[in-house]
Amino acid sequence: MHTTSQASILGNMESMELLGPKRCYIEFGAGKGKLSHWIRIALKDAEDVHFLLVERSSTRFKVDGKHKNADSAFERLQVDIQHLDLGKVPLMKAKGLPVIGVGKHLCGAATDLTLRCLFEHNCTKGDTEPLKKRAKLHNADHHIMSVPSMDKEPVVSGLAIALCCHHRCDWKHYVGKEFFRQRGLGRKEFDAFRRLSSWATCGMTRFSSETTEKATKSKMEEEEEHEMSEEALPDTLNCFMPVEDREQIGRLCKCLIDKGRVDYLQRKGFETSLKYYTSRDVSLENVLLTAVPAASQKREDSK
């Protein structure tokens, strides 16, 4: 199941020409680092490809260790995304490569924090305290030279983020506030949509009961990574509406929240889209947020 999802994400990235040499891939909410692992395999013949894996928790069974002898550098940062300033990361400053942001399990507000990290470079300026992180650089033969402090911000060349757990979003970090306000909506309405979005996955139990034992085990792993909060479920209408109707309402609420993110990226000058990257039979959390710079997209279209 997970391999199918990873392959689909990579396929979408390839179609947008986001897989190639001389790039730095930043995997947010990296966990074990499986998405970076498969990107590296897809780019095994590419030169000057680097990976920055961001994860706030200590992780067991990391797969980035499999690339210790590879030509690419794998650096892991243990830091909360909201405290990460990419302009201060030595790998980013030394190489100056275009950045591709990726993520597969960025639950709720983590997606918004990731977008702010990539596009609001000044959000952590003024914080004089050094980031409390643990950095591990694999491939000891690759020496990263320090460079003068030029505060040159990373250039984002694209992103591909698999969205999930909209009920864990919060108004404070949400990047689509302007999108909501232009439609006469605010924090109160956002909170209602956020809670109703959990209805989109109320078919998880039914789905699991209809699968084989092996598929059910994989589904349980998926649900652990997308843990549902029971208190996020609006219970008052549950007994009055069929599951299918609740799922449809939930999907519409998720879409509305995601449209705010699309609007945010478009304001930043990016061509943005929401795509189904796998079927609902594989995962009920199956929407991929993608973006590439609008200028480069137009140049490609004019060729």
Long-range Cβ pairs for the range 36-39 (8 Å, 24+): 36/64, 36/74, 36/102, 37/63, 37/64, 37/66, 37/67, 38/6, 38/7, 38/10, 39/10, 39/13, 39/102
Q: Do 24 and 97 contact (CB within 8 A), yes or no?
A: yes
**CA trace torsion 110, 49, 21, 101 (10° rounding):** 10
Per-residue pLDDT tens listing for the chain (303 residues): 467 888 999 999 999 999 999 999 999 999 989 999 999 999 988 999 999 999 998 766 567 666 665 566 889 999 999 999 998 998 888 888 999 999 997 899 999 999 999 999 654 444 434 344 444 444 433 333 333 334 567 899 999 999 999 999 999 999 999 999 999 999 999 999 999 999 998 755 554 445 444 444 444 444 445 555 544 454 555 667 898 999 999 999 999 999 999 999 999 999 999 999 998 888 889 999 999 999 754 555 445
Bridge partners of 163, per DSSP, are: 106, 287
**Cβ atoms of 135 and 76 closer than 8 Å:** yes
Alpha helices by DSSP H, listed for 16-100, are 34-42, 90-95
Q: Which helix (H) or strand (E) holds 223?
A: helix 213-225
Is the pTM higher than 0.85? no
Task: Using the CB atoms, write b or e for 102-111: b if 16+ within 10 Å.
Answer: bbbbbbbbbb
How far is it, in rounded angstroms, from Cα 101 to Cα 156? Answer: 8
d(CA 275, CA 190): 22
Q: Which two tokens stand for residue 272?
A: 């943005």
* Cβ atoms 81, 110 nearer than 8 A: yes
Nearest to 19 by CA among 3, 53, 42: 42
Domains of the chain: 2-165+262-302 (3.40.50.150), 181-249 (no CATH)
The secondary structure of residue 86, as a DSSP letter, is G
Whole-number Å distance between alpha carbons of 89 and 97: 12
Residues 6+ apart with CB under 8 A from 76: 30, 33, 52, 53, 55, 62, 64, 134, 135, 136
